[in-house]
Amino acid sequence: MTVKDTQSMIAGMTPIIVPGDWVFCSVTGADTIPPDAFAVIQEAEGTTLILPEATAKAGGYQSSAVMQLITLQVNSDLEGVGLTAAVATALAAQDIPCNVIAGYHHDHIFVPKAQAGLAYAALLDVQHTAKQH
């Protein structure tokens, strides 16, 4: 069952830090997409791949800084409003950049690896506050 109510999505987000190191890469042309890519995003300038850092290094891909993945366990409705805003606001208040990827079932937050613990704590705080209201 999906959750659409803003307060319920935030109160139920239950973030988890997913083990592994991730990087964003951009490729053009007919590059092969590695089977362990987390996401593939087609853009006019090229294709963005979110890959395990080891895969990117082994494939010689130019990549971003190393990111940590935090997945929100709430099964948020694709038409739900406010979850992404609450996450981005909480992380911005801590000066933590975030890149949000929404899947069919869950939202996935990529943050700089060095700030993953602080990001996780900030998200737990937002969740705790939402549960009290």
Q: How far apart (Å, rounded) are the C-alpha atoms in residues 56 and 65? A: 12
Inter-axis angle of helices 116-131 and 83-93, to 10 degrees? 130
pLDDT one-digit tens code per residue, 6-32: 999 999 999 999 999 999 999 987 678
Residue at 1 is within a domain: no
pLDDT one-digit tens code per residue, 66-123: 999 999 999 998 999 999 999 999 999 999 999 999 999 999 999 999 999 999 999 9
Q: Which domain holds residue 118?
A: 6-131
Q: How far apart (Å, rounded) are the C-alpha atoms in residues 19 and 22? A: 10
| CB contact set of 113 (below 8 Å; sequence gap of 6+) | 21, 65, 66, 67, 68
How many domains does the chain fold into? 1
- For residue 28, what pLDDT is reported? 85
Report yes or no on whether pTM surpasses 0.85.
yes
> Scanning the structure block, which residue is given the tokens 């801590």?
94
> Scanning the structure block, which residue is given the tokens 């895969």?
55
CATH number at residue 127: 3.30.2130.10
Residue at 73 is within a domain: yes
